[in-house]
């Protein structure tokens, strides 16, 4: 129970008292963290809120941590030199690449969001993909990203049941979203020579967006 509290304290904006930083329960990302993060946004969408409001609520539920990673990586991708690009990740100033990345992802995702289940499945897909990809990654610096990577190397198999369920209900969407997420992740991973917390935040955002966007074009009537 304590490690679940730690996981929720790190991956959500909800106040979790007495939680110590630990990734021992990283396996629970798709099964516990994702439904909790999506609970309020999906309810808002079900009750008639606009997709934009629901998506903003979801971003708020994450504490905007992943979005910050997306912005940082967006800036870093515009810098050709690897070491300089890594330094950009530590720069609190926001550049053109970061602003464009955040705007493009948020606007296009909200524009393709139509149903509560679409939002929930997108969040489950995002967490599953991050756990799976991190299990085969290396970190380029010490820190929280490195701790997440090491935990994922031992627990990445836990992502497979969640992805299998998604593939059962939405096979085309899941397959194309995995391919899209892998391409976008490799773009940042190769550019920076590894992963860190910002890269994983970037992955969490773009993978969720990929699933939501693709599911709008390849809908499954019984699921998305």
| Predicted confidence band of residue 8 (pLDDT cuts 50, 70, 90) | confident
Give yes or no for residue 224 having a pLDDT over 50.
no
Distance in angstroms (rounded) separating the CA atoms of residues 39 and 213: 20
| Predicted confidence band of residue 221 (pLDDT cuts 50, 70, 90) | low
Q: Give the mean model confidence (pLDDT) for residues 81-98.
A: 90
Q: Which one is predicted more confidently, 93 or 110?
A: 110
Residue 195's DSSP bridge partners are: 139
Q: Give the mean model confidence (pLDDT) for residues 104-133.
A: 97
| Predicted confidence band of residue 223 (pLDDT cuts 50, 70, 90) | very low
Q: Which residue has the tokens 């890594």?
A: 86
Give yes or no for residue 102 having a pLDDT over 70.
yes
Averaged confidence pLDDT in the chain? 92
Give yes or no for residue 155 having a pLDDT over 80.
yes
Q: Give the mean model confidence (pLDDT) for residues 66-88.
A: 95
| Predicted confidence band of residue 150 (pLDDT cuts 50, 70, 90) | very high
Question: For residue 180, what are its two tokens?
Answer: 């899209």
Q: Give the mean model confidence (pLDDT) for residues 29-38.
A: 96
Centroid of chain to Cα 201: 6
Q: Which one is predicted more confidently, 23 or 83?
A: 83
Q: Give the mean model confidence (pLDDT) for residues 114-134.
A: 97
pLDDT at 17: 65
Residue pLDDT, tens place only, 47-57: 999 999 999 99
Q: How many other C-beta atoms are found inside a 10 Å radius of the C-beta of residue 4?
A: 16
Q: Taking the alpha carbons of 103, 108, 109, 113 in that order, is the dihedral positive or negative?
A: positive
Q: Which residue has the tokens 């929720």?
A: 8
Q: Give the mean model confidence (pLDDT) for residues 209-220.
A: 90
pLDDT at 21: 74
Q: Give the mean model confidence (pLDDT) for residues 148-172.
A: 96
CA 140 to each of CA 66, 72, 222: distance values in angstroms, whole numbers, following the listed order: 18, 15, 42
Distance in angstroms (rounded) separating the CA atoms of residues 150 and 7: 15
pLDDT at 23: 86
């Amino acid at each position: 129970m304590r490690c679940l509290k730690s996981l929720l304290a790190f991956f959500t904006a909800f106040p979790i008292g007495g939680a110590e930083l630990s990734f021992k329960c990283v396996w629970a990302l798709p099964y516990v963290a994702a439904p909790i993060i999506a609970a309020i946004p999906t309810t808002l969408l079900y009750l008639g809120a606009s997709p934009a409001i629901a998506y903003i609520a979801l971003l708020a539920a994450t504490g905007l941590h992943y979005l910050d990673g997306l912005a940082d990586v967006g800036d870093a991708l515009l810098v050709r030199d690897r070491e300089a690009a890594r330094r950009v990740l530590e720069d609190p100033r926001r550049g053109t690449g970061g602003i464009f990345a955040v705007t493009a992802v948020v606007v296009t995702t909200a524009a393709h969001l139509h149903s509560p289940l679409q939002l929930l499945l997108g969040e489950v897909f995002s967490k599953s993909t991050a756990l799976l990809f991190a299990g085969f990654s290396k970190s380029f610096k010490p820190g929280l990203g490195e701790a997440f990577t090491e935990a994922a190397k031992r627990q990445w198999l836990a992502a497979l049941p969640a992805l299998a369920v998604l593939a059962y209900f939405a096979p085309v969407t899941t397959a194309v979203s995995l391919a899209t997420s892998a391409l976008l992740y490799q773009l940042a991973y190769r550019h920076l020579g590894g992963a860190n917390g910002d890269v994983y935040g970037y992955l969490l955002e773009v993978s969720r967006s990929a699933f939501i966007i693709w599911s709008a074009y390849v809908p499954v009537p019984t699921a998305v």
